[in-house]
Amino acid sequence: MSRKQRKATGAPTPETVSTMVRSRFAPSPSGHLHVGGARTALFCWAYARARGGRFILRIEDTDQKRSSEAATQAFFEDLTWLGIRWDEGPEFDGCGGGEAGPYRQSQRLDLYRRHADQLNAAGAAYPAFETPHMLEAARARARDEGRAYRYDRAALKLDAATIRRYLDEKRPHVVRLKVPDTCQITIPDVVRGETHVSSAELDDFVILKADGYPTYHFAVVIDDELMGVTHVIRGEEHLGNTAKHILLQDALDFRRPIYAHISLIFNPDGSKMSKRERDIRLRREVKRLGLQVPPETGVPTAQPVMPVDQWRRWLADKDQQLDLESARSLAEALKIDLPEIDVEDFRRAGYLPEVMMNYLALLGWSPGGDIEKFDREFLISHFDLDRMIKSPARFDRDKLLAFNLDALQAMSTEEFSDRLRAHCLRYHRDFLDMLGNEKFALFAAANQQRSKTLDDPVRSGRFFVIGDEEVAYEHSKAVTKALTHGDPNGYAHLKAVEPLLKELPHWTIKRLEETLTQYANEHAGGKLGKVAQPLRIAVSGGPVSPAIFDTLAILGRESVINRIRRCLAMRERDTK
Ligand code: GLU
């Protein structure tokens, strides 16, 4: 069967099958990289690595309104953070380069135009001059008459002289593909098997827009061919598009890549994992608190979270989505966490890239057996498309968190400390500066075993860096009980240990442990907790902190004494 004869049968070409694997990830850069996109990139990358092939990154930035250079750079960052490095593509941090570029679609407009001309000349495509207004009216008519809209091919009825005249007048026009009237299009897919679509279901779709930019379908097909892509691994949402791509490949006499459409990612409750979840979470909290438009919002922050107009619009329209910055500030003001959706969210929340890579690989693929935890070398040596899972993948946050905890605990103390420092440098510079270098190693060591993420120590450790007079005492049962129950009660123990701590010859973990243990043996029936818990509350404001000796050692003598005195003074004030 020649390539021409193979038209729309969907059979891969022999040259595709025998050549070296060339896979590609082709994001449209708007916003940050979603975990779904990251998973696609991971599979494309792992497949190329597993087969000794090449992994290409192509930036699909032809939607000028939605794409931005900042988003493109953020995609590069997110991918390299995950350890996904590309052999060909835009250059970034030692990745990229290659012979098949440029790798940004916005720099390939000539190529698309030339191919459109070629199809026009062959009669396989044609210019169409309807204005957006005319098309909208035709769509509205179809809606009113309760039928599906299809382009009526009016442009095909124009005579050659009229078309020539319109073109000479530079009348705005699109280019449409002439879709064969009735042919069966077979979409071969290594994950989903074959799907069949009748060309009668498709109308003559646009391949070149009036502004000279290609549509996604046209650009993707040309680039996959010219870049020698052998494997297209992408989300299942593109399966429907593939019929159009196959028609275009046949019209242009292009090779057919091998397709693998991978399942969507859902939340455990079956809802789609999308950026809308941020707004859903925020709206739930706003509703719970009964917040209104400012100034009556009661949002507990000195800074207005967002302009009143924006707030008003968002409250009024449930479908409105806040931009990431506004969503983050509102969440901060409301003291809630936003669900992580983008790779950057997970990085910010303190997940490790190798854990993300491991967990993402399990969303739609399985190495077999009971193996769930693996590193990149394992993934590269085991990854194959025939172990892909067709059913939708469930994103289980608890499981990811458990993976992260295990990985953090398994690290050496030095590694944990280095990675915590890197995390703080990126997201909590102020915390790092206030804590100071000297205390950092102690702080990291004290937190390792209790941290599920690299962000946990900072979140729970704010009390280490605030002024002694800023410690706010929590009003909870646990606090009241630790301070007031028993005889002697917590306050009495605080009063008794204060001079011991003040006079302690050396402020070291060892000395603190010896002194407080001895005190507990003599005055608290050997129960260290009776002394440790009031101390913890006095210095941190609440009942949770790293081990008490570590906590005191990190804070230093002066702060500890100040905070104990403050706690005792507060009691005297309260009981007056
Ligand atoms: N730019 C498309 C997207 O981000 C790529 C689809 C494809 O891989 O063909 O969804």
Q: What is the pLDDT of residues 182-212, one digit of tens each?
A: 899 999 999 999 999 999 899 999 999 999 9
Sign of the Cα torsion 462, 467, 468, 469 reads negative
Tokens of 537: 């509350």
Q: Ligand 1: does its nearest atom lie under 6 Å from the Cβ of 82?
A: no
Whose alpha carbon is nearest atom 10 of ligand 1? 27
Q: Is 184 helix (H, G, I), strand (E, B) or coil?
A: strand
Strand 89-92 to 95-97 pairing: antiparallel
Q: Contact 9/184 with Cβ under 8 angstroms?
A: no
Give the residue-averaged pLDDT of 78-102. 97
Q: Ligand 1: does its nearest atom lie under 6 Å from the Cβ of 396?
A: no
Q: Contact 205/177 with Cβ under 8 angstroms?
A: yes
Match 């959706």 to its residue by tokens. Answer: 341
Stretch (H or E) spanning 135:
helix 132-144
Q: Contact 126/176 with Cβ under 8 angstroms?
A: yes
CA of 55 to the centre of ligand 1 (A): 15
Q: What pLDDT is stored for residue 31 in this prediction? A: 82
Whose alpha carbon is nearest atom 6 of ligand 1? 26
Give the residue-averaged pLDDT of 227-247. 96
Going from N- to C-terminal start, the domains of the chain cover 276-406, 411-464, 468-575
Indicate which atom in ligand 1 lies nearest the CA of residue 60: 1
Q: What pLDDT is stored for residue 301 in this prediction? A: 46
| Position 247 pLDDT exceeds 90 | yes
In this structure, of 151-160, 185-194, 267-276, 497-506, the range with the lowest mean pLDDT score is 267-276
> What rounded mean pLDDT belongs to the chain?
92
Which of 67-71, 144-148, 375-379 tops mean pLDDT? 375-379
Closest listed residue to residue 122, CA positions, set 248, 15, 8:
248
Task: Indicate which residues carry an active-site annotation.
Answer: 275
Q: What pLDDT is stored for residue 296 in this prediction? A: 52
What is the spatial distance between Cα 96 and Cα 76, in angstroms, rounded to a whole number? 10
Cα–Cα distances in angstroms (integers) from residue 292 to residues 75, 289, 311, 312, 321, in the given order: 36, 9, 9, 9, 18
Q: Ligand 1: does its nearest atom lie under 6 Å from the Cβ of 245?
A: no
Stronger pLDDT, 222 or 31, i.e. the higher one = 222
Q: What pLDDT is stored for residue 5 in this prediction? A: 47
Per-residue pLDDT reduced to its tens digit, 384-422: 999 999 889 999 999 999 999 999 999 999 999 999 999
In this structure, of 63-67, 211-215, 463-467, the range with the lowest mean pLDDT score is 63-67
Per-residue pLDDT reduced to its tens digit, 302-329: 445 677 788 888 888 988 998 888 888 8
Strand 206-208 to 22-25 pairing: unpaired
What is the spatial distance between Cα 13 and Cα 367, in angstroms, rounded to a whole number? 29
Q: Contact 427/434 with Cβ under 8 angstroms?
A: no
Cis peptide bond N-terminal to 488, omega within 30: yes
Give the residue-averaged pLDDT of 42-63. 96
Q: Ligand 1: does its nearest atom lie under 6 Å from the Cβ of 238?
A: yes
Beta-sheet strands, E only, within 182-340: 184-187, 195-198, 206-208, 231-235, 258-262, 265-266
User: Quick one: what percent of the chain has pLDDT higher than 90?
Assistant: 79
Give the residue-averaged pLDDT of 325-347. 90
Cα–Cα distances in angstroms (integers) from residue 185 to residues 23, 215, 346, 347, in the given order: 23, 20, 40, 42
CA of 328 to the centre of ligand 1 (A): 28
Q: Contact 479/542 with Cβ under 8 angstroms?
A: yes
Which residues have CB under 8 Å from 215's CB, separation 6+?
Answer: 205, 206, 207, 208, 209
Per-residue pLDDT reduced to its tens digit, 112-168: 999 999 999 999 999 999 999 999 999 999 999 999 899 999 999 999 999 999 999
Phi-psi bin for 261: left (phi > 0), alpha (psi -120 to 50), beta? beta
Q: What pLDDT is stored for residue 576 in this prediction? A: 59
Reply yes or no on domain 276-406 having CATH 1.10.1160.10: yes
Q: What pLDDT is stored for residue 78 in this prediction? A: 97
Stronger pLDDT, 21 or 293, i.e. the higher one = 21
Per-residue pLDDT reduced to its tens digit, 420-478: 999 999 999 999 999 998 899 999 999 999 999 999 999 999 999 999 999 999 888 99
CA of 27 to the centre of ligand 1 (A): 5
Indicate which atom in ligand 1 lies nearest the CA of residue 245: 9
Q: Which residues pair with 176 in a beta bridge?
A: 126, 206
Indicate which atom in ligand 1 lies nearest the CA of residue 224: 9
| Position 11 pLDDT exceeds 90 | no
Q: Contact 463/552 with Cβ under 8 angstroms?
A: no
Which residues have CB under 8 Å from 249's CB, separation 6+?
Answer: 221, 225, 255, 256
* DSSP secondary structure letters along 141-170: HHHHTT-------GGGGS-HHHHHHHHHTT
Match 């691994």 to its residue by tokens. Answer: 233
Q: Which residues pair with 214 in a beta bridge?
A: 208
Q: Ligand 1: does its nearest atom lie under 6 Å from the Cβ of 234?
A: yes
What number of other Cβ atoms are within 10 A of residue 575's Cβ? 8
Q: What pLDDT is stored for residue 294 in this prediction? A: 59
CA of 325 to the centre of ligand 1 (A): 26
Q: Ligand 1: does its nearest atom lie under 6 Å from the Cβ of 63?
A: no
SS3 for 305-317 is: CCCHHHHHHHHHC
The architecture CATH gives domain 468-575: Orthogonal Bundle (1.10)
Q: Contact 377/314 with Cβ under 8 angstroms?
A: no
What is the spatial distance between Cα 486 and Cα 475, in angstroms, rounded to a whole number? 19
Phi first, then psi: give them for residue 207, nearest 5 degrees: -110, -30
In this structure, of 118-132, 284-298, 542-556, the range with the lowest mean pLDDT score is 284-298
Q: What pLDDT is stored for residue 304 in this prediction? A: 57
Q: What pLDDT is stored for residue 451 in this prediction? A: 97
Stronger pLDDT, 295 or 480, i.e. the higher one = 480
Q: Ligand 1: does its nearest atom lie under 6 Å from the Cβ of 28?
A: yes
CA of 458 to the centre of ligand 1 (A): 37
Q: What pLDDT is stored for residue 297 in this prediction? A: 53
Match 């905890």 to its residue by tokens. Answer: 405
Give the residue-averaged pLDDT of 519-525. 96
Phi first, then psi: give them for residue 262, nearest 5 degrees: -100, 150
CA of 231 to the centre of ligand 1 (A): 13
Q: Ligand 1: does its nearest atom lie under 6 Å from the Cβ of 448?
A: no
Burial zone of 169 (CB within 10 Å; 0-12 exposed, 13-18 middle, 19+ buried): exposed
Whose alpha carbon is nearest atom 5 of ligand 1? 26
